Amino acid sequence: MENKELICIGCPMGCAMTACMEGGEVVSVSGNTCIRGERYARKELTDPTRIVTSSVRVRGGRIPMVSVKTREDIPKNKIFECMEKIRTVTVDAPICEGAVLVHDIAGTGADLIATKSVEKA
Ligand code: SF4
């Protein structure tokens, strides 16, 4: 048995939790105030994922960068590869909020989308 300490990110209370692990499985979770904490702990310790947010270069736009995010969570171990890909991307203005800028980024199955619009210069 091994104990893992983690903070729930489900709300501003930030409950400090302890998860008891055995053989890579979460056996129990304590310290959470509600069920969301237990769900978060189990997922974070067995299948951690994140939405990635960043920005990419814009060619011919009124601003030089556009904010972006992955449409869905991606595996935490793919974040570095995803950021490397984002660094290589340049898109042409105009860009509409919600437009897909990269399909299946880093083979995650998630699309990279614009989170704001950019007009042509
Ligand atoms: S366990 Fe519940 S109350 Fe505590 S931080 Fe998470 S969501 Fe908030």
Phi, psi of 95 (to 5 degrees): -125, 130
pTM over 0.85: no
Residue type at position 73 = D
Instruction: Walk along the chain (121 residues) and give the pLDDT tens digit of each residue.
Output: 899 999 999 999 999 999 999 999 999 999 999 999 999 999 999 999 999 999 999 999 999 999 999 999 999 999 999 999 999 999 999 999 999 999 999 999 999 999 999 999 9
Residues having CB closer than 6 A to ligand 1 are 8, 10-11, 13-15, 32-34, 36-37
Is residue 62 within 8 A of residue 119, CB to CB? The reply is yes
- Please report the atom of ligand 1 found closest to the CA of residue 34: 2
CA nearest neighbour of 4 among 14, 15, 18: 18
Q: Please tell me the distance between residue 33's alpha carbon and the centre of ligand 1 in angstroms.
A: 5
- The residue whose C-alpha atom lies closest to atom 3 belonging to ligand 1 is 33
Q: Please tell me the distance between residue 21's alpha carbon and the centre of ligand 1 in angstroms.
A: 20
